[in-house]
Copies of this chain bind each other. A is one copy, B any other.
Amino acid sequence: MLPRKIADSTVRRLAIYLRFLEEFQRQGQATVASDALAQRAGTTSAQVRKDLSFFGSFGTRGLGYDVVPLADRLREILGLGHRHRVAIIGAGRLAAALVDYTGFSARGFEIVAVVDRDPARIGAVLAGLTIEDVADLEHVVRRGEVEIAILVTPAGPAQALVDRLVAVGITAILNFAPVQLQVPEGVDVKNVNLAVELETLSYALSARAAT
């Protein structure tokens, strides 16, 4: 059903198209042209059509795409057909922001557990979730049928925690710690490294200054 190998850049754009399709749907638009999607997503119409063409052809020539069926299909492609269960590792400041955020649940990601190592935090309640002991990580993951882990601990313990997560069968990890995690084949890690983002902005600033 899914083609062999889809570029990460394509998948990201599909997620962005989906967001705009949902907006069109709320506005009651029945169809949308590749060009309209492209403008909002900051790309080109050819790019939109190419991205979609990897998965089949669901447009109508002369008209565009039917908003609702295309959104459904994108949700299916992205694996958003069912809600995903997420655990947060490390109950610090970032965790507090993530747990409180309603946008994830709205998009099908349910935070079902938060763990920490600090005895002072274990037992506290964060947005309705009791913080549990990281010692029970394996149990928490299994009980919650967790599919995705968000790692928001300091860099030090990150690799060891990932090893444990992989060992209990987690294959999708969103990592905020500024380290390069080693994982076996078949496990996916996405890194969010805010310091690197700021440093690329710094580069852009000084590249412009040099001109």
Contact = CB atoms under 8 A, between A and B. Distances in A.
A104 B197 CA distance: 11
A27 interface: no
B40 A210 contact: no
A174 B196 CA distance: 11
For the complex, would chain A's binding face be called helix, strand, loop or mixed by DSSP majority?
helix
Interface in A73-91: 77-81, 84, 86
Contacts of A104: 194-195, 198
A42 B78 CA distance: 26
A37 to B, nearest CB: 11
Interface string A50-61: 000000000000
A193 B98 CA distance: 12
Nearest to A207: B2
Given A2-B207, A16-B180, A205-B171, A200 B196 contact: no
Nearest to A197: B190
A51 to B, nearest CB: 13
Given A2-B207, A94-B97, A79 B186 contact: no
Interface of A: 1-2, 6, 8, 11-12, 14-16, 18-19, 40-42, 77-81, 84, 86, 92-94, 96-98, 100-101, 103-104, 107-109, 147-148, 171-174, 178, 180, 186, 188, 190, 192-210
